[in-house]
Amino acid sequence: MSTAAATDIATMKKIASKARINTIKMLHEAGSGHPGGSLSAMDIMTVLMHRFMKHDPTNPRWEDRDRFVLSKGHCVPAWYCLLADAGYFPEEDLMTLRKLDSPLQGHPVNTAMDSMEACTGSLGQGLSIAIGMAMAAKLDGKPHKIYCMIGDGETQEGQIWEALLSAPKFKLDNLVVILDNNGGQIDGPVEEVMSLNPVVDKMNAFNWHVIDIDGHDYDQIIAALEEANGVKDQPIFIRAATVKGKGVSFMEAKIDWHGKAPSAEETEQALAELSA
């Protein structure tokens, strides 16, 4: 059994930086994958794992753990790196990403790896699964929380809006949804492809407890998740403004870096920046 360690911000930043480095390395080694959304999500994921989530690397299926459902499943490399760092599996395994017979599937698969909560990768489905998990926790009178991260492109899916409509009805104050609002998807900027805005107003109108933050500011991330812990009878929606490709200058806010692996030279440059 384990509880969330109160890791300080400086340490968390180091962990996130190392995980960014490993993300770049593993995507280069795999020859494919999604750097943009992995890097934009990293700071939030790091704070979740190291400040808020109760979890146990020696017992990934611990019944009372907090759950993290990565609905935007293509960004799982970021989470794999944090899991390896926390001791869920050996760091060498990261380099098997997307290779035959690896538990590190291209998208999360719970039957391939115990620390994956579900099968995501077809966008739009994870939030409903998270709602079901939050309902089950309520039924069982359990205090654990369900954290779910969704993409802004993903939020165009109809099923997301069905889920957003339903969680407030069930008063799921044990459900915290984080929108990784990095502004990019595959075919272009979210604003051009299919705008969500004004997304904060929409979520307020949908009866969520809405918190609007900068998803790379550790103080703001921590404050938002602390606020979430105090909310009663309403699900929590954190709109995190983020930068796609955060931490690697040539990837930042570039649509092109949604879903391709860095070359050897690009990897070298990225690692130099991230290690600086």
Partner 1 sequence: MAKASRLAFGEALAEVGAKNQNVVALDADLAKSTMSKIFADQFPERFFEMGIQEANMIGVAAGLALSGKVPFCCSFACFVTGRYDTIRISVAYPNANVRVIGTHAGIGIGEDGNSQMGLEDIGLMRGLPNMVVLQPADEVETKQMIEFLANRHEGPAYVRLTRQKLADVSPDGYQFKLGKSVVLRDGKDVTCFATGGTVQGAVAAAEELAGEGIDVRVVNLSSIKPIDADIIVKCAKETGKLFTVEDHNIIGGMGTAVAEVVTEKCPVPVFRWGLPDVFGESGSPEALYAKYQLDGPGIAAKIKEFLG
Ligand X SMILES: Cc1ncc(C[n+]2csc(CCOP(=O)(O)OP(=O)(O)O)c2C)c(N)n1
Render 91-114 in DSSP notation, one character per residue. GGGGGGTTSTT-SS-SS--TTT-T
Residue pair 45/39 in contact (Cβ under 8 Å)? The answer is: no
Which C-beta is closer to ligand X: that of 182 or that of 220? 182
* Least Cβ distance, residue 8 to partner 1 (angstroms): 36
Binding mask 131-160 for partner 1 (x = CB under 8 A): ----------------------xx-xxx--
State the amino acid at position 151 in one-letter form.
G
State the amino acid at position 224 in one-letter form.
A
Establish if 73 lies at the interface with partner 1 (CB under 8 A).
Answer: yes
The answer for residues whose C-beta is within 8 angstroms of residue 223's C-beta and 6 or more apart is 213
Establish if 37 lies at the interface with partner 1 (CB under 8 A).
Answer: no
Which C-beta is closer to partner 1: that of 66 or that of 152? 152
Establish if 18 lies at the interface with partner 1 (CB under 8 A).
Answer: no
Which C-beta is closer to partner 1: that of 28 or that of 144? 28
Site size for partner 1 (CB under 8 A): 33
Which C-beta is closer to ligand X: that of 36 or that of 262? 36
* Least Cβ distance, residue 192 to partner 1 (angstroms): 8
Establish if 265 lies at the interface with partner 1 (CB under 8 A).
Answer: no
Choosing from 105, 115, 220, 242, the residue that interacts with partner 1 (CB under 8 A) is 105
Could you give the CA distance from residue 138 to residue 131 in angstroms, rounded to a whole number?
A: 11
* Least Cβ distance, residue 87 to ligand X (angstroms): 26
Q: Which stretch binds partner 1 (CB under 8 A): 16-24, 25-33, 48-56, 174-182?
A: 25-33
Establish if 185 lies at the interface with partner 1 (CB under 8 A).
Answer: yes
**Residues in 133-162 that interact with Mg ion by CB under 5 A:** 151-153
Q: Which two tokens stand for residue 34?
A: 């999604």
The answer for residues whose C-beta is within 8 angstroms of residue 95's C-beta and 6 or more apart is 25, 26, 29
Establish if 38 lies at the interface with Mg ion (CB under 5 A).
Answer: no
Establish if 54 lies at the interface with partner 1 (CB under 8 A).
Answer: no
* Least Cβ distance, residue 142 to ligand X (angstroms): 30
Which partner in Mg ion, ligand X, partner 1, none is near 72 (CB below 5 to 8 A by kind)?
ligand X
Could you give the CA distance from residue 214 to residue 220 in angstroms, rounded to a whole number?
A: 7
Residue pair 267/24 in contact (Cβ under 8 Å)? The answer is: yes
Binding site for partner 1 (CB under 8 A): 30-33, 73, 98-102, 104-107, 109, 112, 119-124, 153-154, 156-158, 185-188, 193-194
Binding site for Mg ion (CB under 5 A): 151-153, 182, 184
